[in-house]
Amino acid sequence: MDETAPQKGTVTQRAIEQIKAFIAEGRLEPGERLPTERDLAVQLGISRSSMREAIRALTVLGVLEARHGSGIYVTQLEAGDLLETFGVVADLSRGPALVELLQVRRILESTATALAAARITPDQLAEVEKHLLAMNATDDPEEILAHDLAFHREIAAAAGNDTMAAILEGLSSRTFRARVWRGYQEEGAFERTRREHAAIHRALVSRDPEAARAAAAAHVGEVEEWLRAQLGV
Amino acid sequence: MDETAPQKGTVTQRAIEQIKAFIAEGRLEPGERLPTERDLAVQLGISRSSMREAIRALTVLGVLEARHGSGIYVTQLEAGDLLETFGVVADLSRGPALVELLQVRRILESTATALAAARITPDQLAEVEKHLLAMNATDDPEEILAHDLAFHREIAAAAGNDTMAAILEGLSSRTFRARVWRGYQEEGAFERTRREHAAIHRALVSRDPEAARAAAAAHVGEVEEWLRAQLGV
DNA sequence: CCGTCAAGGTGGTCGGACCACTACGGCCGA
DNA sequence: TCGGCCGTAGTGGTCCGACCACCTTGACGG
């Protein structure tokens, strides 16, 4: 009567939970190398195929990292590693969920911008300014979008909360913004966007958190309202 | 000269991207059934093993759902489906990242509570009250935690943004709160927590968004500050 | 008309084989 | 002695074929 496994769920799912538990309990440190797929499979009493599926699952979640020919390693478990999958949500959401995502972004982005106004360093401010100018100097939509993303990314980084920055990164993922912006900018919103970015920049220069919060909220809110109208909500 | 695949990355990774693209392009509707693993493997020109890894990856991301003996289906792609993995972040984060997560939760929770104060229905309010009373009527930490979670979950639901509610759900995942609360409540914070919950409830009854925002922010902020002190930050 | 049950189809698991790549260490030449 | 080259062992990546567990369907018999 070997009372080892409760036999709940698929073996792969169990393997995923066990490896996660190993990490949560500190038996596997960030950056540490795991045993080989073959050894792990033997240890957990499952086939290599099932073990590979478990590893693949944890890989896409940003928990593990497989290096061909070298081995499997635990990631640093930092915000960027684990929240990378957040972009999938933004990419696959549609309809009302897009508005909800923008609402979340408005809340976080406004707070992040307010924090940045109080904490931003001259170097970081210069970087923000660089993207602001570059954005105004071109008419290529692709380039504008790239600098727009970088503009907000720098601000989020200056807020000093890597987790929040990683979430915002996901909420602003390239395909997500491309989908929304395509329609938004067709209505000649370029000039308005430039004005709003300038307002955010001014608030940062003035180190005025409240002005920064308001400017950022208004900026995202504009897009949010436009999208809401588009969907007829 | 068969110019089909660019041969970048692993075949499994490519399969993941292709299926994701199918869904993003609308070629696969939410709830729709996919071809069998065997057929999909043939269509994409890969082995069933690799295809299974791709499917498993999309399953843990909440994009697909495999039903043994029946087939593979696209989920409804709702907030709850896709943001379930968010709990993994909370479960595996440690140290400073925990404080950052609580900070994000403070921002979202305070806004959600403010929204709830303006929109909550009598039925929902009664539900909130039920958990408030149940929480005060017992001394079992496990039960208190359960009602605490439900208390905030009901409020988040009343805010009317499913996406935000799903994120907050992840940020309050059972193991995450258990880890933090274990230490927090050992310092006799029960009474303080009860007072704070009562304050949130009063603000909801008064339909006072600003009071609700302040009460919720203070509530989460208390834990945040305690954790910050614990980590010596 | 409805419950029963058998068969086919589906995902789940397994084991083994081979390929592609990396890392390491010994070998050879400078 | 030193440094680069290269072979080899070991790793993850891919593929195949088989079998199992489970669900769905529809024919059958009551």
- Whether CB of B38 is under 7 Å from strand C: the answer is yes
pLDDT in tens, A107-137: 999 999 999 999 999 999 999 999 999 998 9
| Structure tokens belonging to residue A128 | 């923000």
Q: Is A100 on the interface with B (CB under 8 A)?
A: yes
- Candidates A201, A91, A85; CA nearest to A148 is A201
Q: What is the pLDDT of residue B7?
A: 65
Tell me how far CA of residue B79 lies from CA of A13, A160, A161, B61, B205, in angstroms: 22, 27, 24, 12, 28
Residue nearest to nucleotide D10 (CA to C1'): A69
More confident residue, A223 or B141: A223
Strands (E), chain A: 64-67, 71-74
- Distance of B142 CA from D27 C1′ (whole Å): 53
Suggest the residue from A13, A82, A176, A228 to mutate for an interface test with chain B (most B CBs closer than 10 A).
Answer: A82
Please give the Cα distance from A48 to A41 (Å, whole number).
5
Please give the Cα distance from A56 to B54 (Å, whole number).
8
Asked if residues A59 and B130 have their Cβ atoms less than 8 Å apart, the reply is no
Please give the Cα distance from B121 to B130 (Å, whole number).
14
Please give the Cα distance from A215 to A199 (Å, whole number).
6
Q: What is the pLDDT of residue B105?
A: 97
Please give the Cα distance from B200 to B214 (Å, whole number).
9
Question: In chain B, which residues have their Cβ closer than 8 Å to the Cβ of A107?
Answer: 107-108, 111, 164
DSSP conformation letters of B146-204: HHHHHHHHHHHHHTT-HHHHHHHHHHT-HHHHHHHHHHHHHTS-HHHHHHHHHHHHHHH
More confident residue, A9 or A43: A43
Ramachandran angles phi, psi of A62, nearest 5°: 80, 15
Q: What is the pLDDT of residue B169?
A: 96
DSSP conformation letters of A135-172: HHT---HHHHHHHHHHHHHHHHHHTT-HHHHHHHHHHT
Q: Is A75 on the interface with B (CB under 8 A)?
A: no
Q: What is the pLDDT of residue A2?
A: 39
Please give the Cα distance from B55 to B57 (Å, whole number).
5
Contact A162 B12 (CB under 8 A): no
Please give the Cα distance from A169 to A155 (Å, whole number).
11
| Structure tokens belonging to residue B67 | 């039903």
- Does the pLDDT of residue B199 top 50, yes or no? yes
Please give the Cα distance from B130 to A63 (Å, whole number).
38
Please give the Cα distance from B85 to B167 (Å, whole number).
10
Q: Is B228 on the interface with A (CB under 8 A)?
A: no
Please name the nucleotide lying closest to B67, CA to C1'.
C11
Contact B104 A23 (CB under 8 A): no
Residue A8: CB atoms within 10 Å: 8
% of residues, chain A, pLDDT over 70: 97
Q: How far off is chain A from B191, nearest CA to CA, in Å?
A: 30
Average pLDDT over residues B144-159: 96
- Does the pLDDT of residue B4 top 70, yes or no? no
| Structure tokens belonging to residue B56 | 């498993």
- Candidates B20, B122, B113, B127; CA nearest to B74 is B20
pLDDT in tens, A75-116: 999 999 999 999 999 999 988 999 999 999 999 999 999 999
Strands (E), chain B: 64-67, 71-74
| Structure tokens belonging to residue B146 | 């359960």
- Does the pLDDT of residue B3 top 50, yes or no? no
Please give the Cα distance from B203 to B132 (Å, whole number).
14
